[in-house]
């Protein structure tokens, strides 16, 4: 497998017998997952299992053609969406493109700048983004499976208005790209009335499992990522991670270990990366696991950290605070870029012991020092290792986490594909905003 799961630093906290005890349960859930996902019903929400295979060349070509149009007529793409409908695309763009892709000069950037909005209700954020559009050509991509989520709906109203004022209704309509469900979403009917280019989010794939659909692939393509490589990575993962046996399937090992640790009181998991550009990959993971597993008063609480940055904030707690944590680290064997520490003539800063070493080498030493110190301090450590971070490996890793998450939810005894708890705050908000349908409802 492309992924190597190293749990040697989690082993002191459990033994192989405990893993062995979960084997039959894992096989049972694996078979259920693979039988049920063949059923086409929307309700089963298992379309993601085969999605990398289902997406055909025609759809990839359509996404690429639309992205070419955006590249040719826009300085900026505004991506509107929240939760699972936007985190996958953002995760890929941040992890795979230049760390400062929006700040590169025109000559060094072959793609439009990409900004995300509709993922909060802040007028400051939204107004500040509008400031950037002054005298710029832009297009918008609205991603909302339901087509009814308030945050993206408000942003769509605002940015559509700006587009129509700038280009006129007719020309603006050629700059609006909608990604939504084609059965029940009101966005779908708006798009067909107004003639907007539309991509479909399959009904049997939930938002947080939608990364291999146009929801994430279209913004990725606009940013210049090879989406075929993303999909190929996912297809390989699907083929390589198909054994029902824990011993042969690292995705199920990860799911089983986090469940064993949870049962031993390790109820908080920190997903760690040593690359700031993986921030949104870790955010995507957080959303995937939180919404899939946190229900029925159960679930590992997923949180994230970027080291070494957060070693200077969370590090103290992780080393010596409450012992209810475990860490999972995404480790990349070979990073594309590196910097050599040069020798100076006077060693004024006393760093000459590092002369000739690379920053990747030093980052790696930080990683091994942390894993040892934290595990010796009572924090089990799991390492998810990938050979490098490119589109192919990104697709592979994301599929690995999706499969692990589904299995982890099953082992936890919850439905990993619903999110009933997200509705509670919405209900209270709509009642206080006096939304007509909520006139007689009571606050939760
Ligand atoms: O993962 C999920 O299902 C959620 O995070 C949704 O993606 C999020 O609530 C946005 O929903 P929608 O795409 O319907 O606007």
Distance between CA atoms of residues 281 and 92, nearest Å = 7
ipTM score here? 0.98
Q: What is the pLDDT of residue 29?
A: 97
Q: 46, 36 in Cβ contact below 8 A?
A: yes
Q: What is the pLDDT of residue 169?
A: 97
Q: What is the pLDDT of residue 437?
A: 87
* Greatest Cα-to-Cα distance within the chain, rounded to the nearest angstrom: 77
Rounded to 5 degrees, φ, ψ at 299 are 115, 145
The Å distance, Cα 37 to ligand 1 centre, comes to 21
Q: What is the pLDDT of residue 42?
A: 64
Query: Looking at ligand 1, which atom is closest to the CA of residue 422?
Result: 9
Best probe residue, ligand 1, of 207, 208, 426, 429 (max atoms within 8 Å of C-beta): 207
Distance between CA atoms of residues 249 and 79, nearest Å = 36
- The tens digit of pLDDT for each residue in 227-237 reads 999 999 999 99
Q: What is the pLDDT of residue 40?
A: 66
**What is the SS3 assignment for 306?**
strand
Q: What is the pLDDT of residue 249?
A: 97
The Å distance, Cα 419 to ligand 1 centre, comes to 9
Strands 197-200 and 176-180: parallel
- pTM of this structure: 0.96
Q: Which residues of the chain have pLDDT under 70?
A: 40-42
Q: 386, 329 in Cβ contact below 8 A?
A: no
């Amino acid at each position: 497998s492309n992924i190597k799961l190293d749990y040697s630093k989690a082993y002191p906290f459990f033994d192989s017998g405990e893993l062995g005890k979960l084997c039959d349960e894992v096989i049972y859930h694996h078979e259920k997952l693979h039988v049920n996902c063949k059923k086409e019903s929307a309700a089963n929400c298992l379309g993601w299992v085969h999605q990398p295979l289902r997406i055909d060349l025609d759809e990839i070509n359509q996404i690429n053609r639309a992205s070419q149009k955006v590249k040719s007529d826009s300085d900026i793409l505004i991506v509107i969406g929240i939760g699972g409908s936007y985190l996958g695309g953002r995760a890929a763009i941040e992890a795979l493109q230049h760390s400062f892709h929006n700040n590169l000069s025109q000559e060094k950037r072959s793609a439009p700048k990409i900004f995300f909005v509709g993922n909060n209700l802040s007028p400051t954020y939204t107004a500040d983004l509008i400031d950037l559009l002054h005298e710029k050509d832009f297009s918008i991509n609205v991603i909302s499976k339901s087509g009814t989520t308030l945050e993206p709906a408000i942003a769509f109203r605002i940015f559509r208005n700006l587009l129509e004022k700038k280009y006129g209704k007719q020309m603006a309509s050629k700059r609006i790209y909608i990604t939504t469900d084609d059965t029940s979403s009101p966005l779908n009917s708006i798009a067909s009335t107004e003639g907007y280019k539309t991509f479909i989010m399959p009904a049997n794939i939930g938002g947080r499992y939608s990364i291999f659909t146009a929801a994430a692939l279209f913004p990725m393509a606009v940013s210049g990522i090879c989406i075929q490589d993303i999909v190929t990575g996912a297809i390989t993962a699907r083929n390589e991670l198909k054994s029902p046996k824990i011993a042969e399937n690292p995705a199920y090992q990860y799911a089983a270990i986090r469940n064993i640790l949870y049962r031993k009181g390790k109820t908080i998991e920190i997903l760690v990366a040593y690359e700031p550009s993986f921030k949104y990959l870790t955010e995507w993971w957080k959303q995937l696991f939180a919404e899939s597993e946190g229900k029925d008063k159960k679930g590992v609480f997923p949180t994230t950290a970027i080291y070494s940055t957060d070693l200077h904030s969370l590090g103290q707690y992780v080393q010596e605070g409450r012992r209810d944590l475990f860490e999972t680290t995404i480790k990349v064997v070979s990073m594309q870029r590196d910097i050599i520490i040069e020798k100076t003539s006077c060693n004024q800063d006393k760093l000459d012991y590092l002369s000739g070493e690379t920053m990747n080498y030093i980052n790696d030493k930080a990683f091994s020092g942390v894993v040892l110190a934290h595990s010796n301090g009572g924090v089990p450590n799991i390492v998810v290792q990938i050979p490098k971070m490119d589109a192919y490996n990104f697709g592979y890793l994301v599929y690995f986490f999706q499969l692990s998450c589904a299995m982890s939810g099953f082992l936890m005894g919850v439905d990993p594909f619903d999110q009933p708890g997200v509705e509670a705050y919405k209900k209270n908000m709509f009642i206080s905003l006096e939304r007509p349908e909520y006139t007689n409802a009571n606050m939760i």
